[in-house]
Amino acid sequence: QVQLVESGGGLVQPGGSLRLSCAASGTFFSINAMGWYRQAPGKQRELVAHIASGGSTKYADSVKGRFTISRDNAKNTVYLQMNSLKPEDTAVYYCNALIVVVTTRSYWGQGTQVTVSS
């Protein structure tokens, strides 16, 4: 059974930094694209950052220049380095990955809370 397990959320002051990690476990053939989404209270889930299997990235305009997505294919892990955090970054952050088992499926992590507050 394939699972995505996230870690690294927490409470941070405005201007601070956090690093989120998401590791895939289980039996699978390969991982294609990976990404981070977030959902704030009363809002729809939105894409934060995306990284393709080849390493190309894209970001939401609201986080460009502050967040960096990366992946370690040997560890089946994706990271989100978040700098210069703002209160509006407060949300539950979810990891997503397109994983090839027999066919390609989309998997989600359980979510990790990020709160930016003084």
Q: Give the pLDDT confidence score for residue 75 in this predicted structure.
A: 96
Give percent above pLDDT 70 in the chain: 100
pLDDT band at 57 (very low <50, low <70, confident <90, very high): very high
Strand partners, 21: 7, 79
From CA 107, how far away is CA 74, in angstroms rounded? Answer: 19
pLDDT in tens, 82-117: 999 999 999 999 999 999 998 999 999 999 999 999
For residue 82, the Cα-to-chain-centroid distance in whole angstroms is: 10
Q: Which residues, including other chains, have CB under 8 Å from residue 68's CB and lie 6 or more apart? A: 49, 80, 81, 83
Strand partners, 91: 114
Q: Give the pLDDT confidence score for residue 79 in this predicted structure.
A: 98
Q: Give the pLDDT confidence score for residue 118 in this predicted structure.
A: 95
